[in-house]
Structure 1
Amino acid sequence: MKLEKLQALYKQLNQEVQEVPVKGSRPLIIAGRIAGFIHPEAILALQNKDYFKQDELAIYLAEVAVPKAILNEILLDVALSLRAAGLTRAWRDELLHVYAEGITIGQIERAAMRPLGLLTQAIHLNGWTPDGDIYLQLRASTKAFDPNKWDTLVGGLLNAEDSVTEGLIRESEEEAGLSQSDLKLRTPIRSILRMRRRLPEGYQLEDILV
């Protein structure tokens, strides 16, 4: 696939992945900071919790000055409550950072990100031939999302243990069998897009890093 065609596809797809949250979603404030857009079914699942508050503007989880260790306990309970309500997909026992207003405030199970509309970061690696063609990989039929579809050579979510570079190295080895030395000629990692997409389980708010 040539660069010109990729640029045209990028322009088209960029327009298709800029959606507002599903009707009934509310802004989500965690520990006093704007963090996401909570799905209406997630609101129902959490509304009787002691740490849950709401007004005409937003949904609030946890107090403003809550210590980070306590906040992570609350976020664990949030994730387990969403799972008990049948609102999570593909539980991974994998923690992701919770970002709010540009900083990391805690960690939560990966499967809880979409019902809460929390920001995730996806790291990708493109591989090009000398003639300008791009390598693609076919997603496995067992993938929870977009099985049997074409994807970048490497792609995956950054978890709470990764730096951006560490995440790229890990995903490159897992998905393409590439070692760190194979990545020496890569270009600097940069953000190319913030995706906003409705999903059956919630809202995908995701920075695409390449």
Structure 2
Amino acid sequence: MQVEAVLDYLSGVTRYDRSVFTDLVIDGEVLGSVNGVWFERLLASEAALFVADEHALSCTLTGDYAHFSRELDAAARRWQQAGWLNGWRDENFTAFRLDGSPLFELERAAFRPLGLTSRAVHLNGLVRTPDGAVRMWIGRRSPDKAVDPNRMDNLMGGGIAAGESIALALEREGWEEAGIPADRLELLRPVSRILAERPVQRGLHREWLHVFDLWLNPTDIPCNQDGEVAEHVLLDLAEVEQLIVDERFMIDAALVTIDCLCRLGYWGTETPRIDAALAELRHPV
């Protein structure tokens, strides 16, 4: 077991200089963060939508869900035309108020530049072999993926689209990425909720990871349906740990996997040290 290496990995992917980001206030609440590049872009090109003071960047919009969504969509399309946004997917995510109520929806490619918090579902696929050992199904992302090609992933992981419930996203992604029928997933309950946050090239990645564990039979073989996963491999836990230490995983998938290994007690008496390192990321389900 490689406890120190895992702790070093966690430290490296979860700590960053927050002082280089400016709070983004929308409708009176701090809902995002922008880096210096986007701070200047928004003030220079979107003066009708964004104003700054010594503490924060504020969006001047008021109104209802439809109005916010329409105006910010138009702005995001201007950013795309200017060449500032890549990875446009024609797929919206929902931005929520601090109380959990939806405020607007926006193209997912615009979430990172504004540092808005998105949501995703992640599924650990676990198997207990006849000798009592636990193994884990790991996916390898397609080499054609725009983000993190060929990186290792959980059995399934994917974003929750605007208007989609966590349960529906779990069932949709479970089928698309691993060929798991909805009736195998509909009664699952989340086992963890992790807030992943780190700088990325686009801005700030900030996402709630809603985590589920699925125990599969040894004869169950995942089968990708949408071409986004190149293969699934069944590994023993030491092999999974090595992939984490070697930084082969997508970062969010690595956080979910480490969290799962803690639940399984993989590190024995050292597990509380890993738990402590994850404590700031974990939130009540």
Instruction: State the TM-score, normalizing by the size of structure 1.
Output: 0.87
The offset of 1:102, in angstroms, is 3.4
Q: Which residue of 2 aligns with 1:55?
A: 53
Higher helix share: 2
Number of residue-to-residue matches in the alignment: 204
Question: Which structure 2 residues correspond to residues 80-95 of structure 1 after superposition, within 5 A?
Answer: 80-95=77-92
Instruction: State the TM-score, normalizing by the size of structure 2.
Output: 0.65
- Is 1:111 equivalent to 2:112 in the alignment? no
Aligned-pair identity in percent equals 29
Deviations 1:135-177 (A, max 9, x none): 0011001112111011100001111131000000010011011
Residues 21/69 of structure 1: CA separation in 2 closer, same or farther (3 Å cut): farther
- Aligned residue type for 1:53: V
Q: Within 1, Cα distance between the matches of 2:18 and 2:83?
A: 18
Residues 119/8 of structure 1: CA separation in 2 closer, same or farther (3 Å cut): farther
Superposed CA RMSD in Å reads: 2.3
Question: Which structure 2 residues correspond to residues 1-210 of structure 1 after superposition, within 5 A?
Answer: 11-20=7-16, 24-47=20-43, 48-49=45-46, 50-63=48-61, 65-103=62-100, 104-130=102-128, 131-183=133-185, 186=188, 188-210=189-211
CA contact (8 A) 1:191 1:207 kept: no
Which stretch shows the higher mean deviation, 112-121 or 37-46? 37-46
CA contact (8 A) 1:26 1:58 kept: yes
Q: Within 2, Cα distance between the matches of 1:42 and 1:36?
A: 12
CA contact (8 A) 2:93 2:106 kept: yes
Gaps of at least 5 residues in structure 2 are 212-285
For the pair shown, the structure with the greater C-alpha radius of gyration is 2
The offset of 1:12, in angstroms, is 4.8
Gaps of at least 5 residues in structure 1 are none
CA contact (8 A) 2:24 2:57 kept: yes
